[in-house]
Every structure is written in C-alpha cells, then in structure tokens.
A and B are shown apart, each in its own frame.
With several copies, the nearest count.
Chain A
Amino acid sequence: MDIALVVVFVIATFLGAELIAKVPAILHTPLMSGANAISGITIVGALIVTGAVASPWAKWVGFAALVFATINVVGGFLVTDRMLEMFKRPDRSEAATTPSTNGRGK
C-alpha cells in the first residue's frame, strides 16, 4: 500500500472537515442527501472490479456492487434535486412577471 494514498486521505479528511461550517437547518437534509450521493463514488470501484475481472464469481459480486452503487448515485442526486426544488421561491419569479394588482385592484 502506497504511503501517498494515506497522505491524500488525511489531507482530504481535513478538507472535508473544513468544507461545511454553518448550514441553515432547512439544508441539513439536502446536504446529507447530496453527500450521500457523493459517497456513491464507490461506483468507480464497482466499475473497475466488474469490468476487468474474469472470474465469474468476482464478476457477479462486482455486478451486484455496481447495481447498488448506481442506485445510490442516481437515486441520491435525483432525490436531493427534488428536495431542493421544494425550496425554490415560486412567488418571487411570478411576482416579477405577473402584475401585482392581480385579484386585488379590480
């Protein structure tokens, strides 16, 4: 095992710890969900193992890993996006286009 990997791991850990400091409560869940999708990076490992292996056993184990990891990645990003879509401020943009006398002035 290469020591370079350890160096990278340690520095990346420090970076991860610095990355988020103050998060408003409403973003806790989307942030968790987005980070969860990123942890699906193991899809890369699954691809490498499944793609390069000749043994049938290893291949099928890798295949299972690939399916699970892809669920995590695809589902994770989509569900995060759906959550965040909810936080859009629909009124703001509408208010800018629709005149505000609507249903009041007349």
Chain B
Amino acid sequence: METVITLAYLVAAALFIYGIKRLSSPVTARGGNRMAAVGMLIAVVAALMEERILNVPELIAGLALGGAIGAVLAKRVPMTAMPEMVAAFNGFGGIASALVASAEVLRYYAREIGVAAEAGGDISAVATAAFDRPLALTIALSVLIGCVTFSGSFVAYGKLSERLKSNGFRGLRAASILVGLGVLAATVWMVVAAPAFPAVEGPVMTSLVALAALALVLGVFLVLPIGGADMPVVIALLNSYSGLAAAATGFVLSNYALIVSGALVGASGLILTKIMCDAMNRSLANVLLGGFGAEATGGAAAAGGEERPIRSTSADDVAVLLSYASSVIVVPGYGLAVAQAQHEVREMAEILERQGVEVRYAIHPVAGRMPGHMNVLLAEANVPYDKLVEMDDINADFATTDVVLVVGANDVVNPAARTDKTSPIYGMPILNVDEAGNVIVLKRSMRAGYAGIENELFYNPKTQMLFGDAKASIKAVIDELKALQPA
C-alpha cells in the first residue's frame, strides 16, 4: 500500500512538472494549469489512503469549507485584483505548512500525556519516532518559513489593494535585524530542548510559540519597506518560500509528495522571481532592500514645485486629430486598469477602424501592476489578440505613427529611462512614444506614476494632456467621433 501511495505521489509530481512547463508557454498554459490541478487531486486521494482515518467528518468539513471559500474568492475577484488574490492564497499556503508542523508537535505531546491512548491510539507511524533534534529543526524551519510567508503575503496583499499605504517607520531595518536574531534564538532553543520533549514539554512549546510570533513579525518587517510597484516580484519570491515551507513540512512528515512538489515550486519560483526582476531591469537585492517605489516620491514632490508650461487639450480636439490620422497607437498603463476604460478604448478603436484608421496597442512588459495586466484587461474587452504588439516589435513604428494615445501610462513612457542617468528607472527599456507625430496623454493630474518621478514627456511640445478619468475622457472622445461622422 505504501508503495502504491508513493507511486501516486510520483504521478502527481510528474503532472506538476509538466504543468509548470506548460504554464510557461502561451499555447499550452491553460492545459498546464489543469494538469497540475489533476495532479493535486491525485495527491489528495493518495493522502486520504495514507493511514487509517480517525476523523472523517473533520476532513470532509475542512475540504468543503476551504474549497468553498477558495472557489468563491477566485470567482468573485475582479480581474484587476488578481495579483493581491494570489498573494492572499499564497499566505494561506504558508500558514497551512506552519500549522501542519505545529500539529506534529502537539501530536507528540498528546501521545505523552495519554490523550491518544484514551481516544483509541495515535496511529501515525511518524509520531512513533523519537522527537530528535533534526526533527525539531525541520519543524522550526517549517514554522519559520510558513509564518514569514503568511504575514509577508498579507502585507503584499494590503499594498497591492492599496489598503496599506505605509512604507514602514524609522529604525525598521534595525528592528528587522533584532527580530531576525530573536527567530534564530527561538530556533536554537527549540532544537536544544528537543530531546527532552515531550516528557519536559515547556521549552519546546514556548519556543515554538515564540518562533511563530517572531516569524510573523519578521514577515511584516521584510515586506513593509518594499514599494507597491515591486509587489509582484515579492509575491513570486514569497511563493518560492511557501514551496520551501511545504518541503520542510515534507521532511517533518517524511512525505515525498510534499518534498518533491515543495522543492519544485521553491526552485522554479526563485527562477521566476529572477526573470521578473530582469524584465523590470532591477536586481533582486535592489527590490528587497526597498526599491524606488518607496523612496523616490520625495524627489518628485520637490520637482513638482516649479511651474512649467504644458499643453492641455479637449475631447473634441482629440477626436478631430484622431479621425484625420492614418495610424494610431494606444499605449495603455496602470491608469487604464484604475479607470476600467478598456471597453471604451475598444469601442473608440472600432469607430476609428471603420473610418480606415489603423489602431494598434503597444504593450510594455511592466505596464500596470502585474505582468500581462494590460493583455488581461484588453482581452477582457475583446480587443483582437493580434492588435496587441509587444514593446520590442512596435518601438520602431512610433516614428511613422501620427497619433499616440497614452491611456493612464506614465513610467513606461518616461524618457528619463533613456537619458537621465540619475533617474531610478534609468536603463529600463521604454516605449519611444516621443518619436510619434502627436502624443496625447490621458490622466487625471500631473501626479507621478509608481516610480514616483517626473515625466519630461508631459512637457514635450508634441504632447497634449487630456486631463480627467480615462473612462470619462474616452467616452467624451467617442461622442465627438460619432458627432463628426456623416449621419
């Protein structure tokens, strides 16, 4: 039986492996996700066969409750809130690993004080082994990583959903170091006290609780100083951690499914984190030690002090300009997501296309707040897939484009990335919209984008600003376009 179960775990692991592989290619991604889900189902069924089950109702209740909550959350979440949803799910996974490891400790304890014997015997093969130091260490690691993942993920959740605005406080770094030392001490304490457990239960229990509490604080402190724009990277990293937490729990339970899958996610998550950093032209260290998202805002505010001339325009002027253009490129950014203006943009494009204007969309890899954010939004509005052009493919075309419509984008069109060596985004590849004939920028104010820096583009003589919420602005443009059409 044990052999069959382990083989089932292997099959699940193989499905995870293929699943992850397929998830990294557009054509196969959806199938890959389903493959992994099937693998998980197999693993769950195998787990249910692992030992004689005492608590059937609890298992059914737990699966039903968790499944229902997960399903409702996943179905209800709006497209734009998906990154924070992933962060939250990730946090749940982390705390689950920590709880499983803690339950193992309680299991040993219960056996000692005789609860098990009364209730019909504790039948776990694992729990009959000695509570030795290596076991204590793996339990400590599992609790540590799991708790850091949990609290860190929820800080990321708060930042992404803009419920949490704080970037920390003075002395946060020193405090983090202190907490880190505390975590270390609690771990050592628990390992040292392990051999006496469960006969002498005090030290292990106390250190376990202390470790969990400190790890929760550590998770908060580690993520707090990181800017909101870097949260996707942080979530990818925390996802890697939650894989490691699962693997650590696997060591506690001597379970191959957890070890293999946890290690897979731990390693591939780390690679994905690196890939995401590369796409943003940042180093991981730079992200983790508090990137520009948190600090540079001051500079922008200072620069905003002086008054410089800008050209402001109106919806009817924009409509005229657009209808006389032969080629238009729309550059969507985070503001499109905030305004939820994707449907209006699509409608406007259709009107223009019917008039013979070529309309395309320039997709910057980090536009919005998660990779693929713009693709998701525009796809939701049924914009044809082949109209979305990636940065590298469209950058050469701006020079021959009549009008560029920048809808709620800012950093991804900031020429400082090309020219200003002191800028925090220097070196990031951007969309060269300033090469086009006319640039129209739709945003609500002169405020900075996520990097918190001034954008020279807005002062470019070619640029006209159409202030207001993007959805309202585009609606107005549509009305004007319709009015211009021969009835």
Contacts and interface: CB of A to CB of B under 8 A. Distances in A.
B74 A34 contact: no
Interface stretch (B76-84, B174-182, B183-191, B296-304): B76-84
Interface in A39-70: 39-59, 61-70
Contacts of B3: 3
B90 interface: yes
Contact of B371 (A22, A25, A57): A25
Contact of A1 (B44, B66, B110, B135): B135
B96 A40 contact: yes
A23 interface: yes
B449 interface: no
B128 to A, nearest CB: 11
A7 B256 contact: yes
Contacts of A32: 86, 232, 235-236, 239, 269, 272
Given A1-B138, A35-B268, A40 B93 contact: yes
Nearest to A35: B265
A78 B75 contact: yes
A53 B122 contact: yes
Nearest to A29: B370
Contact of B96 (A6, A65, A85): A65
B264 A49 contact: no
Interface string B238-264: 010011011101111111111111111
B237 to A, nearest CB: 10
A45 B102 CA distance: 11
Interface string B269-289: 111100110010000000000
Q: Please classify the interface of chain B as helix (H, G, I), strand (E, B), loop, or mixed, using the class held by over half of its residues.
A: helix
A2 to B, nearest CB: 6
Nearest to B367: A25
Interface stretch (B112-120, B403-411, B438-446, B450-458): B112-120
A40 to B, nearest CB: 5
Contact of A36 (B26, B61, B89, B104): B89
**Most-contacted residue by chain B among A7, A16, A41 (CB, 10 A):** A41
Nearest to A56: B115
A33 to B, nearest CB: 5
B254 A2 contact: yes
B267 A44 contact: no
Contacts of B135: 1
B123 interface: yes
B10 A42 contact: no
B261 A8 contact: no
Contacts of B242: 36, 39
Given A22-B24, A69-B96, A42 B249 contact: yes
Interface stretch (B312-320, B375-383, B478-486): B375-383
Interface in A1-15: 1-15
A29 B2 CA distance: 37
Nearest to A32: B236
B267 to A, nearest CB: 3
B243 to A, nearest CB: 4
B54 A33 contact: no
Interface stretch (B35-43, B219-227, B324-332, B416-424): B35-43
Contacts of B262: 39, 41-42
A39 B246 contact: yes
A41 B270 CA distance: 18
B36 A38 contact: yes
Given A33-B86, A54-B119, A70-B70, A12 B263 contact: yes
A33 B23 CA distance: 10
Contacts of A24: 26
Contacts of B59: 47, 50-51, 66
A29 B232 contact: yes
Given A39-B93, A43-B96, A71 B58 contact: no
Given A78-B70, A87-B26, A50 B110 contact: no
A59 B55 contact: yes
Contacts of B25: 27
Nearest to B124: A52
Contacts of B70: 70-76, 78
Nearest to A7: B256
B385 A89 contact: yes
B77 to A, nearest CB: 7
B63 to A, nearest CB: 5
19 contacts: A1-B134, A4-B256, A8-B259, A20-B268, A28-B370, A31-B29, A32-B232, A34-B36, A40-B89, A44-B43, A47-B50, A51-B59, A53-B110, A73-B66, A75-B74, A82-B75, A89-B384, A89-B385, A91-B384
Interface of B: 2-3, 6-7, 9-10, 12-14, 16-17, 19-21, 23-26, 29-30, 32-34, 36-37, 39-40, 43-44, 46-48, 50-56, 58-59, 61-63, 65-67, 69-71, 73-75, 77, 79, 82-83, 85-86, 89-90, 92-93, 95-97, 99-100, 102-104, 106-107, 109-111, 115-116, 119-124, 134-135, 138, 232, 235-236, 239, 242-243, 245-247, 249-272, 275-276, 279, 363, 365-366, 370-373, 375-376, 379-380, 382, 384-386, 390
Given A38-B39, A63-B61, 7 more contacts: A29-B86, A30-B372, A33-B82, A35-B265, A49-B100, A74-B66, A85-B30
- Interchain residue pairs A-B with the least CB separation, the first 8: A70-B66, A55-B110, A16-B267, A75-B70, A74-B70, A66-B62, A26-B372, A65-B99
